[in-house]
Structure 1
Amino acid sequence: MVLRKSPICGFVFVLLLFLSSFLGTLFIISPLLPLMIFKPKWWRFVIDEVMGSWITYAVSLMEVLAGIKIRISGDMFGQGESNLIIMNHHTRLDWMFLWMCLIRRSEVKQEKIILKSVLKLIPGAGWAMQTACYIFIERKWEYDNRTFTKLLDYFREAKVTKPQILLFPEGTDFTAKNKARSDEFACQNGLPLYEFVLHPRTTGFVFLASKMREGGMLSAVYDICIGYPQTRPQNEMDILYGKFPEDIHFHIKRHPVITLPIGDKGLQEWCELRWRDKEAMLKRFYAERHFTETAAASSGRDRDVRLLLRFCFVLWTSLVVVWLAFLLYSSVARWYALTHCVLFYAVYWWNGGMEHLEISIFNWWKSVCQ
């Protein structure tokens, strides 16, 4: 346990996460790029499966290597759904920790995270997220509006994946600086001051919920509350220094699409009300160190993933070792890797990223086949 909380564990965790994403992109995803050109739907299906496998490895690093435990309460996810997930944003790493929940109650390969556009430049992980069709935003609504529309239209028309879109309505993680800004906004608009959450920015939620519902892509909104009863790493540097949470709690509330209000104003007020509920829920959580809410008419039980996590831990770690040896002893492998590194950055500067290239190719095929 001491080793798990040490900088050594943090360094190994970050190193394996980086190497697996970087080398996995080069040696698994890159050879599949011709599928994007000649069989776009096959490409989307295969890449989602690859991403699901890698996310499982990331979860194995969190649980097997770092020893993080989780506790999930509340509703089960419906099978075969397209849905929207909204969650409070305690730390910059909440999106990664959520994988530990989804792997037990949903399908991680379906998840499409809304992220800052600068993250697509990260070698390996950023490239993989591009090919996975994650949604990158600039925080400029005139740009983000077009991005949301483009990606949602693609998911609807391709009919290969049923997206499970993760949105943090707060827009940023919970820090003293961000809380001060949220409090200032609340005072200016006559809103209550929150202690455990930031006031949500509802524009993105309203647009996504409306657009997905109009396109028949919204089965439910899943309102997830995340809490850290003990250690709470705020950012990547905390993880690097071995500051892992001992356990993480999730509470899930499913809101079927038929229960959502109609109209932008109604959706805005609905989202704001959910955050008032979160504030009250988290106040109790940090007093009692667990969620006291119970699930309403949920059925089923969490998937047992212990063997799967250990298998992926061994498989992906072995692949990383093999790929590193390949690069070390083969000049051909090094030239191959360099070429594809240049390719990913070239596509980014030329077309905005692999996800935009994928959509352009899909639309071209659609026009040819009509």
Structure 2
Amino acid sequence: MDNTTCYDRLLIKIKRVSKLLFAVLLFLLTCFCITITQLSILLFYRSSPAKLKFFMDLTKEGFISLLITILRVIAPSSVRITTDSNSIPKGTFYKDLKTGRISSHLSSKSVIIANHQIYTDWVFLWWLTSTADLAGEVYIMLKKSLESLPILGFGMRNYKFIFMSRKWELDRLTLHNSLGAIDANSRGVGPASDAPPLKEDSNGEIHWDTRNINDREKHWPYSLILFPEGTNMSPNTRQKSAKFSNKIGKTPFENVLLPHVTGLRYSLMQLKPSIDVLYDVTIGYSGVGKEEYGEAIYRLPNVIFRGQSPKLVDMYIRAYKLDEIPLDNEEEFSDWLYGVWQEKDQLLNTYYAKGSFGLDPEPDHTVIGAFKMSTYPFFFSFFFPGLLFLILGGLVWYCRH
């Protein structure tokens, strides 16, 4: 019996190590291929902004497809999506009978906000956009330090991700120019249309001519993902958040951090001419209790080396039109956002007590499926490196003969 147990344990370890080695090799190989692909795109399509953006967006989609493929191998999860019946039409999310994947009719121009629990929250939100074939149109706000990562930083700059220094005088300019370009592209008059800026102020602000919308040019969709809390929930951040809440006369939350107002409000104001909707997502992870921290349980080493992942990821989604949000008054907007987070805190209380958000059980408002997406963009990442390999191989063969 003991020998059998030891043998089973050995098999489990071998299987785990094999999965890990496969994941690491796949990640390194694909990142290398994506980099070569991006360099090739920059070389061949620099003078064609629309094609440049189109193919760069494919590499963006390929990267998230890579991450999801790896997670499915080493730490598989399922997703349960529940939508608010008052703000999101029935059937917005559904199970595609042909592919078996979750699909959706999410808006093509949106901002997505969510509570922040673990470092891979953004992966699940990025996956969410893939249900509507928008994974290549995602923009994410990240810490400035990530821009300097070898290879990955180069890729994220090509994805036009927005790097924040947490110094508002610098971040305001970054947001103005980044979001201004996204908004202009969405109306066919931005850099992807090879349109020149209307002007650039002395302080570096770039402005686009949006007076005459160009219907002949492609109107690019977008999904901007950001976390108003700024960081994930931990004992340290919870203490700081509670201290600041008391300082400004707010009641601290039990399950979420106090959201920051400035960045979100500015983003919505910059995108106001084109944005269709703001999606608010409340995320809950199975295996995390009320007095526990997701970032401690599902740390990256635990996910990568132990295959430890939430078996079920719960998402509750609400939608807000911009005319429902008091954008023009900062104090009113702050109160509105605090109210949204207060409801989120109550939802998580229910989640920790029941294992679900305890909301609309109708099939048209709830769908469950595997955490996966199409692998087509993933394989596209190998196209240019494969072509280069064939050309070099052909040249070597020709020279030898």
Instruction: Provide the rounded CA distance (Å) in 1 between the counterparts of 2:248 and 2:178.
Output: 33
Distance 1:73 1:199 in 2: 24
Asked if the contact 2:57/2:137 (under 8 Å) is kept, the reply is yes
Count how many residue pairs are aligned between Structure 1 and Structure 2: 323
2:33 is matched with 23
Residue identity in the other structure for 1:51: K
* Match for residue 286 of structure 2 among 229, 234, 245: 229
Question: Structure 2: how far apart are the matches of 1:225 and 1:109?
Answer: 23
Does 1:135 find its partner at 2:192? Answer: no
2:340 is aligned with 1:274: yes
Q: Do residues 95 (structure 1) and 161 (structure 2) align?
A: no
- 1:13 maps to 23
For 1:251, give the aligned amino acid.
Y
Partner residue of 1:284 out of 335, 338, 350: 350
Distance 1:36 1:153 in 2: 23
Over the aligned positions, Cα root-mean-square deviation in angstroms equals 3.5
SS of 2:113's equivalent in the other structure is strand
Instruction: Evaluate the alpha carbon distance shift between residue 87 and residue 36 of structure 1 in structure 2; reply closer, same or farther with a 3 A threshold.
Output: farther
Q: 1:58 aligns with which of 59, 63, 67?
A: 67
Which is higher, the Rg of structure 1 or of structure 2?
2
User: Which one of the candidate residues 275, 291, 294 is aligned to 1:218?
Assistant: 275
Deviation at 1:123, TM superposition (A): 2.4
| Residues 203-352 of structure 1: pairs in structure 2 closer than 5 A | 203-213=262-272, 216-230=273-287, 232=294, 233-242=297-306, 243-263=308-328, 264-294=330-360, 308-309=374-375, 315=379, 319=382
CA contact (8 A) 1:72 1:101 kept: no
Question: Structure 1's 133 and 312: CA in aligned 2 closer, same or farther, altered over 3 A?
Answer: closer
Q: Where do 5+ consecutive residues of structure 2 fail to align?
A: 1-10, 93-103, 189-218, 289-293, 396-401
CA shift for structure 1 position 65: 4.5
AA of the residue aligned to 1:94: D
Whole-Å Cα distance in 2 between the matches of residues 296 and 270 of structure 1?
28
CA distance in 2, matches of 1:98, 1:307: 13
User: What TM-score do you get using the length of structure 2 for normalisation?
Assistant: 0.71
Structure 1 residues 132, 285: closer, same or farther in 2, change over 3 A?
same
Tell me how far 1:39 sits from its aligned partner: 1.3
In 2, are the aligned partners of 1:115 and 1:135 still within 8 Å (CA)?
yes
Provide the secondary structure at the position in 1 that maps to 2:79.
Answer: strand
Distance of 1:37 and 1:190 partners within structure 2: 52
Instruction: Identify if the C-alpha distance between structure 1 residues 234 and 188 changes in structure 2 by more than 3 Å, giving closer, same or farther.
Output: farther
Which runs of 5 or more residues in structure 1 are unaligned?
333-370
For 1:34, the aligned partner's letter is L
- Does the C-alpha gap of structure 1 residues 273 and 99 become closer, same or farther in structure 2, counting only changes over 3 Å? same
Q: Deviations over 1:222-258 (max 9, x none)?
A: 0001111116454422323222222211111111222
Structure 1 residue 58: deviation in Å? 2.0
Tell me if the contact between 2:76 and 2:311 (Cα under 8 Å) persists in the aligned partners: yes
Shift of 1:23: 3.0
Q: 1:307 to 1:59 in 2, by over 3 A?
A: closer
Q: Is the 8 A contact 1:3 1:9 kept in 2?
A: no
C-alpha displacement of 1:105:
4.3
Contact 1:13 1:66 in 2 (8 A): no
Any idea what the Cα deviations from partners look like across 1:321-367, whole Å, max 9, x if unmatched?
Answer: x87xx6xx99x9xxxxxxxxxxxxxxxxxxxxxxxxxxxxxxxxxxx
Q: CA deviation at 1:262?
A: 3.8
Q: State the Cα distance separating 1:183 from its structure 2 match.
A: 1.0
**Structure 1 residues 308 and 12 mapped into 2: Cα distance closer, same or farther (>3 Å)?**
same
Aligned-residue offset at 1:316: 7.4
Shift of 1:57: 2.9
Q: Distance in 2 between matches of 1:62 and 1:245?
A: 11
1:118 partner letter: S
Q: TM-score, normalised by structure 1?
A: 0.76
Q: Which residue of 1 aligns with 2:113?
A: 86
- Taking the TM superposition and a 5 Å limit, the aligned residue runs for 1:85-124 are 85-105=112-132, 107-124=134-151
